[in-house]
Structure 1
Amino acid sequence: MKSNAVFLIALAICVPVGLWGLFAPDTMAGSVLGFTTWFMVGASWWWLALCSAFVIFAAVLALGPWGSIRLGADDDRPDFSTASWIAMLFAGGMGAGLLFWGVAEPVTHFAAPPGLEGGTPEAARVAMVITNLHWGLHAWSIYGICALIIAYFTFRRGGKPLISTPLVGLIGGRAERGVLVGADVLGVVAVVFGLAGSLAMGALQVRSGLASVLDVPETIGVALAILAVLYAAYMISTRTGVEKGMKLLSNINMVLALAMMLFIMLVGPTAFIFESAVDTLGAYVSQIVTLSFRLFPYEGLTEWSASWTLTYLIWWLAWGPFVGVFIARISKGRTIREFCAGVILVPTLFSILWFAVFGGAGIYVELFGPGGLSALVADNVSEALFAFFGYFPLAGLLSVAALALIFIFLVTSADSGTFVLSMMTTDGRLEPPATAKIVWGGLVAVITAATLLSTSVEVARAMATLGAIPFSAVLMLQVVGFLRALASEPTGRAKADQVT
């Protein structure tokens, strides 16, 4: 049975990695960092071109004749309201990441922009644009294409919500079954490693927050205890299903995130924040083509591109199978055009505003305020958000709210990830059994613990990108299968001819 093969092969790959990390964390950390760095530096041109192609492809789908195709039957309508839908997109996609890097990344690039002197007004502008390159159209286009393909074949064509479904009939012959199993296995592996790396970063940030608020020591034992509580919370949440637990937590998180953002916006440098948002939007839009294909080969900064831009893009690819299947699951009944607007444009605009508020205010502290934030961020990136709150009133309350927000974001990410892993290894069952959730939820926790033992954010980021490297080949095949299926759809003039 295909689902058994996927389940067993994926376990055979993931379990040894988890044990390796538990018993020899330093060796595993060095190997993971070496492997991912070698691939990103050696094939930097491929990764950037591939991810930029997704942005172009998404634009063509949204603006072209296929935009009116509905993800489902022609009379299907969405299961979730637009507000709940978008809230779940953020919670499952990158909510915890926005909190982790909201202050840290802009301030880091401001202090050390590629090829420029740090700490200048020009460095500030470049820092904001680079940050939005990493979190904007490219990230959400990768998620969007991954999700759109799965949603189309699941709800429009009646297939199973599996990574391999778009590949059915594409290969043919005896080799096809092996290719389909291999595609699903690579998807599972990408999700496991991507989720573990992200949860590890989140646990480190929660530890830093507890140290800031309650003076809890920043030890590996505390990080593992946080993971244990997180594991219990997301296993309880995943048992309640998407319609209850995930929807409720996502809506709560969206309200908390908006409240925190509005507070910083109002008590902070309000005019500067809005000016930064408008300036960044203009610079980002005007430079998007150049940024989408820039690798710094003449400046000798290929390693910078690998450690920042390419790491992010491959990170989004790693989360593509998981977020893609999850977004597909909640997007039934929407048209391709509506889907692209909701999954790509709205989150991109929100991300620009988010970084203008947190990153812009952080840069304001450096340029016009007391300064010192960039040094704190450089010392421990996990503490960036809580150090930032120290420059504002009600810092303690903000830190407590941020801890709650981060924790719930981690729960929703792990919840949806466990759900997707269970679905992918049970032949695409939309309501996978509890035993599958227990197995994959536990394995993700073990690999997260192995990553935490390295005590490095860099290792966590590398772990998050590990599974995406082989999965990129599967994604290309998915696009080919999707294009082949779209060729048979009646669109535009063809529909008008059918009516007459």
Structure 2
Amino acid sequence: MDEVKVGRLGPFPRVSKPVFITSALLIVGFIIFGAFFTEAAGAVFSFLQDFITDKFGWLFIVLVNMALVFCIYLAMSRYGDIRLGKQTERPQYSLVSWIGMLFSAGIGIGLVYWGTAEPLYHFMAPPLGEPETIAAAKQAMNISFLHYGLHVWAIYGIVALALAYFHYRVGLPLAIRSTLYPLIGKKIYGPMGHTVDTLAVFGTMFGVVTTLGLGVLQINSGLETLFGIPNNTTVQIILIAFITVLAGLSLFMGLDKGIKRLSDINIFFTVILLSFVIILGPTQFIFNSFFENIGNYLHQVIPLGLWTESYEGQENWQSSWTVFYWAWWISWSPFVGVFVARISRGRTIREFILGVLLIPITILFLWFTAFGGSAVHMELMAAIDPNIVSPGLIEAVQADTGSAIFKLMESYPLTSALNLLIVVMIVLWFVTSSDSASFVIDMLTSGGDTNPPKIQRLFWAGTEGVIAAVLLAAGGLGALQAASIVSGFPFAIVILIMMYSLLRGLSRDRLILYRQQQWFITEESAEHNSANEFRDEDLLTGPPDLAKPDD
């Protein structure tokens, strides 16, 4: 099996020079442009965001729906029994640790930032219908579920599954380029492969930086609420520097000791906070609305998932919300895909897809219902009954989106302690996201090495912090959103190609297993074409007398 050529580059002991140098130059160029030409950078980000969402918003919508259908097909098909590794292997990590690391990579800060704020925002300013009504409340929960639901995890699942399959099953490097092997063969080790990995690095960097920027905005809101610390760009940049140092310390501990432990701690804090809000909040409403929200979401998932605002005469709302989310998740998908693939060895395709699709969204939906749903319920009751005083949550969202969850905690006992816990959770999500992202980017720039040198991870962790600071200075939340959309667009094309490539690889895999069971029963052929370990040449070409493996 060929490998990506790696070598020393200055202080970095093991890098794929074409990917590392190209990625570093593009990112450093962006930092210089954003830092020294702030106004021009903001204008460029805004123009590119408007152009992509206006001309290609439909592409993002088509992609996420295709990914969901493809995931469901794979889980229900004959391919579901294929194991990511040898057929006799068992999962590397326990289910609890696996879920914890899924959250640390896939949602994290976004959950805390938008879990309360987004339903409130859609309730007070719904894209369709009258605001602050029962219909607006239901629509707000539907839209929030859409943005964090099945479509999101389908995108993550496709990228992660393709990576895990071609790495653990076929023996290719754990890099985005490997997912295209059935289409371009050993050209993945040349310029085409370098280009795909560079796009993945670029998308990962800006997708993660968007999340880190949101996290810092919310940490600053929490510190302002708790200690009166000013809420401004200077404080936010100081916070980025401090937390980037923490991420650097974490990455030196490695995957099992660093990311895994912090993820387990944060899952524990998440369960504690969620339980507290459910038990001491409107418990009956939360459980009643949780199941109703799921029913409404499943009923509306197809029309909402395919909605493009074509009959409304304006396409401004979706560019700021749904298209932004799809681009954000797509730009995150190389990072989440590599990381989830790294922790998913030994699971069957069916187990993997069902786990990735269903387990995270169940917890996410309960979180959104407990925090966002409760907040909407409070404001709805105040709007309907003049005797009920509004808790001021809508005003908080209008003033500062990140402050919504802290304002909600004022309705609960131990407010200061809860707000401090939330700040700690955001910091931990920040650290694990930055740590995980630098780990993945370093893997991509070192040719798929699953244990890249720590000095290189430190370089990328520092780079993430610098870019987050530059984007905040260049335009705050708007610049963060624009960066996600611009970086996610080229990788959307890669994911479309990746789905076809994965299907070809799986078809050849099943064909080999079938031929082995039916005709190759002799000891010699069984040893050569084992169902547990087989050559990538066999996977990609199949038996020479069968030109159409799907038949």
AA in 1 matched with 2:402: S
Q: Counterparts in 2 of 1:436-475, with a 5 A limit?
A: 436-454=456-474, 456-475=476-495
Q: Counterparts in 2 of 1:5-404, with a 5 A limit?
A: 5-168=18-181, 170-171=183-184, 177-369=190-382, 370-371=389-390, 372-404=392-424
Work out the CA distance in 2 between the residues paired with 1:462 and 1:208.
22
The DSSP-based 3-state class of the residue aligned with 2:190 is helix
Query: Kindly tell me: are residues 172 and 430 of structure 1, through their superposed partners in 2, closer, same or farther at Cα, counting changes over 3 Å?
Result: closer
AA in 1 matched with 2:407: A
What TM-score do you get using the length of structure 1 for normalisation?
A: 0.97
Deviation at 1:26, TM superposition (A): 2.7
Deviation at 1:343, TM superposition (A): 1.0
User: Structure 1 vs Structure 2: percent identity of aligned residues?
Assistant: 36
Deviation at 1:32, TM superposition (A): 1.3
Work out the CA distance in 2 between the residues paired with 1:303 and 1:499.
60
The DSSP-based 3-state class of the residue aligned with 2:411 is coil
Are the equivalent residues in 2 in contact too, given 1:69–1:336 (CA < 8 A)? yes
AA in 2 matched with 1:60: Y
User: For each residue in 1:96-120, what CA deviation from the matched residue of structure 2 results, as whole angstroms up to 9, or x when unmatched?
Assistant: 1000000000000000111211000
Q: Size of the alignment, in residue pairs? A: 500
User: For each residue in 1:2-27, what CA deviation from the matched residue of structure 2 results, as whole angstroms up to 9, or x when unmatched?
Assistant: 71100001111111111212222232
Query: Kindly tell me: are residues 173 and 208 of structure 1, through their superposed partners in 2, closer, same or farther at Cα, counting changes over 3 Å?
Result: closer
Work out the CA distance in 1 between the residues paired with 2:491 and 2:74.
23
The DSSP-based 3-state class of the residue aligned with 1:361 is helix
Work out the CA distance in 2 between the residues paired with 1:223 and 1:392.
28
User: For each residue in 1:367-407, what CA deviation from the matched residue of structure 2 results, as whole angstroms up to 9, or x when unmatched?
Assistant: 12532211210111121111111222211111000000010
The DSSP-based 3-state class of the residue aligned with 2:474 is coil
Deviation at 1:271, TM superposition (A): 1.1
Runs of at least 5 residues in structure 2 that lack an aligned partner in the other structure: 7-15, 383-388, 522-551
Q: Which has the higher contact order (CA 8 A, sep 6+)?
A: 1
Work out the CA distance in 1 between the residues paired with 2:363 and 2:446.
35
Work out the CA distance in 1 between the residues paired with 2:202 and 2:158.
19
Are the equivalent residues in 1 in contact too, given 2:210–2:481 (CA < 8 A)? yes
User: For each residue in 1:442-499, what CA deviation from the matched residue of structure 2 results, as whole angstroms up to 9, or x when unmatched?
Assistant: 2111111101213522221222332111111222222222111111122797786479
User: For each residue in 1:221-258, what CA deviation from the matched residue of structure 2 results, as whole angstroms up to 9, or x when unmatched?
Assistant: 21111111111111111111111111100110001011
AA in 2 matched with 1:270: T
What TM-score do you get using the length of structure 2 for normalisation?
A: 0.88
Work out the CA distance in 2 between the residues paired with 1:373 and 1:498.
68
Are the equivalent residues in 1 in contact too, given 2:52–2:486 (CA < 8 A)? no
CA-based RMSD: 1.8
Segment drifting more, 329-338 vs 191-200: 191-200
Work out the CA distance in 2 between the residues paired with 1:5 and 1:446.
23
Are the equivalent residues in 1 in contact too, given 2:155–2:329 (CA < 8 A)? yes
Work out the CA distance in 1 between the residues paired with 2:116 and 2:248.
30
Query: Kindly tell me: are residues 182 and 361 of structure 1, through their superposed partners in 2, closer, same or farther at Cα, counting changes over 3 Å?
Result: same
Work out the CA distance in 1 between the residues paired with 2:298 and 2:516.
34
Work out the CA distance in 2 between the residues paired with 1:133 and 1:81.
28
Decide which structure has the larger Cα Rg and report it. 2
Query: Kindly tell me: are residues 315 and 498 of structure 1, through their superposed partners in 2, closer, same or farther at Cα, counting changes over 3 Å?
Result: farther
Work out the CA distance in 2 between the residues paired with 1:335 and 1:174.
29
Work out the CA distance in 2 between the residues paired with 1:16 and 1:235.
23
Work out the CA distance in 2 between the residues paired with 1:139 and 1:278.
20
Query: Kindly tell me: are residues 84 and 173 of structure 1, through their superposed partners in 2, closer, same or farther at Cα, counting changes over 3 Å?
Result: closer
The DSSP-based 3-state class of the residue aligned with 1:432 is coil
User: For each residue in 1:310-357, what CA deviation from the matched residue of structure 2 results, as whole angstroms up to 9, or x when unmatched?
Assistant: 110111100000000000000000001110111111111111111000
Query: Kindly tell me: are residues 348 and 319 of structure 1, through their superposed partners in 2, closer, same or farther at Cα, counting changes over 3 Å?
Result: same
The DSSP-based 3-state class of the residue aligned with 1:257 is helix
AA in 2 matched with 1:398: L
